[in-house]
Amino acid sequence: MEESKRDKEEEEEEEEEIWSWGAGTDGQLGTTRLEDEQLPQLLLDHPSSFFSVGPISLLACDGAHVLALTTDGKVVTWGRGTSGRLGHGDMFSILKPKHVKSLESLVITHVSAGWSHSGFVSDTGCLFTCGDGSFGQLGHGDCNSHCSPLKVSYFDSKHVDQIACGMRHSLVLMKGDTVFGFGSGKRGQLGVSMDNIISISLPQATVGLEGVEIVSIDANGDHSDGHLYTWGRGFGNTSNVHCPRRLPSSLCFIQVALGWNHMLVLTGGGEVFMLGGNNHGVLGDPQKGSLVKHLCEESRGEALVKVQGLDGSKVVQIAAGAEHSALVTEN
């Protein structure tokens, strides 16, 4: 009896909390208010919003909308609804989490939010997309938009593992390490060809990653990443890269996060490094930045910079927004 009571108390202590802050005029903060929040808001203080949603295993945020994946594989969305990005069959914005009904019969294992489109991967390896398709970023072979998640038939005989939605493009990681890109390719963010590609609406395999074990992909703005291979719009004043290019480093990286103009990488030792600009203080304290090394001779000035001010703290998770950064430490 005593042990049961102790277990119950420990479960209560570990109960998750969801906080949000920043721009909220489209309802994307989940507070049920159409207003910005300067300070973090505890969303569980709004029972009308999160009652019955259940434990959340993954949150995906981008262009004024949010996708939340529950531990039992269900999806809820809220925020700006234009182009049908929320997946509810309409283009209305909503202020509180709502289950995506067309996905309720499936077990979803991964979700990603782009600027105005969304992607969902099921446990059987199927990919579904919805929202703005004007650049072919939904992968259906056309430039149509969809208000409900539609299965991407191109991958019918393949097993999708992850999706990463950028501003106007999408990347897909297959079981077996192949990466596909589709959507806008104006800045080389698809990684499918050395040639200038305006856009493609059917998935096409990236080039230059043959024989490389890919563990994760990320996309934001007009560039992409596949476990320290980057391509697309150059950081800072560097030129665009049309095919995946490895960033040589003696460090061991375990996580990556992409913003519009900067990238964060996390080492196995809990240190954080940044590649890209610091126009809005995304680095933390630019006076304390420590230049580590040039990545390679042909990198045209690209260099990793260690994020300072974290002495004694082991970072376990990183995140990058358009022009800001956040991290979680072990303690």
Task: Return the top range by mean pLDDT from 33-37, 82-86, 310-314.
Answer: 82-86
Per DSSP, the residues of 298-330 read GGTT-EEEE--S-TT--EEEEEE-SS-EEEEE-
Q: What is the structure's pLDDT at 35?
A: 92
Between CA 255 and CA 211 the distance in angstroms is 20
First-to-last C-alpha distance (Å) of the chain: 31
Q: Report the C-alpha gap between 198 and 186 in whole angstroms.
A: 5
Q: Check if the beta carbon of residue 120 is closer than 8 Å to that of residue 110.
A: yes
pLDDT band at 236 (very low <50, low <70, confident <90, very high): low
Question: pLDDT of 89-102, one tens digit each?
Answer: 999 999 989 999 99
On whether the CB atoms of residues 201 and 141 are closer than 8 A, the answer is: yes
CB-based burial label for 283 (10 Å; 0-12, 13-18, 19+): buried
pLDDT in tens, 102-119: 999 999 999 999 999 999
pLDDT score for 46: 52
Q: What is the pLDDT of residues 299-324, one digit of tens each?
A: 444 677 888 777 778 888 888 776 66
Residue 146 and residue 128: Cα distance in Å, rounded?
11
pLDDT at 141 > cutoff 90:
yes
In this prediction, residue 289 has a pLDDT band, given cuts at 50, 70 and 90, of: very low
Read off the tokens for 84: 């049908």
Q: Is 278 helix (H, G, I), strand (E, B) or coil?
A: coil
50 pLDDT band (50/70/90 cuts)? low
Q: What is the pLDDT of residue 67?
A: 94
**Is residue 286 scored above 50 in pLDDT?**
no
- Which residues touch 265 (CB under 8 Å, ≥6 apart)? 228, 253, 255, 256, 257, 272, 273, 274, 275, 304, 318
Q: Collect all residues with Cβ–Cβ distance below 8 Å to 231 and sequence separation of at least 6.
A: 188, 189, 190, 191, 206, 223, 224, 241, 242, 243, 244, 245
Side-chain-side CA neighbours of 79 within 13 Å: the count stands at: 27
Lookup result for tokens 């480093």: 249
105: left (phi over 0), alpha (psi -120 to 50) or beta: alpha
Place 291 in a pLDDT band, splitting at 50, 70 and 90: very low
**pLDDT tier for residue 122 given thresholds of 50, 70 and 90:** very high
Mean pLDDT for the chain overall: 82
| H/E element, 50 | helix 47-50
Averaged pLDDT for residues 226-240: 70
Res 115: pLDDT: 93
The average pLDDT across 211-234 equals 75
Confidence at 223, pLDDT banded by 50, 70, 90: low
Of residues 44 and 304, the one with the higher pLDDT is 304
Percent of the chain with pLDDT over 90: 40
**pLDDT value at 298 more than 70:** no
Residues of 40-56 as b/e, b for ≥16 C-beta within 10 angstroms?
A: ebebeebeebbeebeeb
Q: For residues 197 and 190, is the Cβ–Cβ distance under 8 A?
A: yes
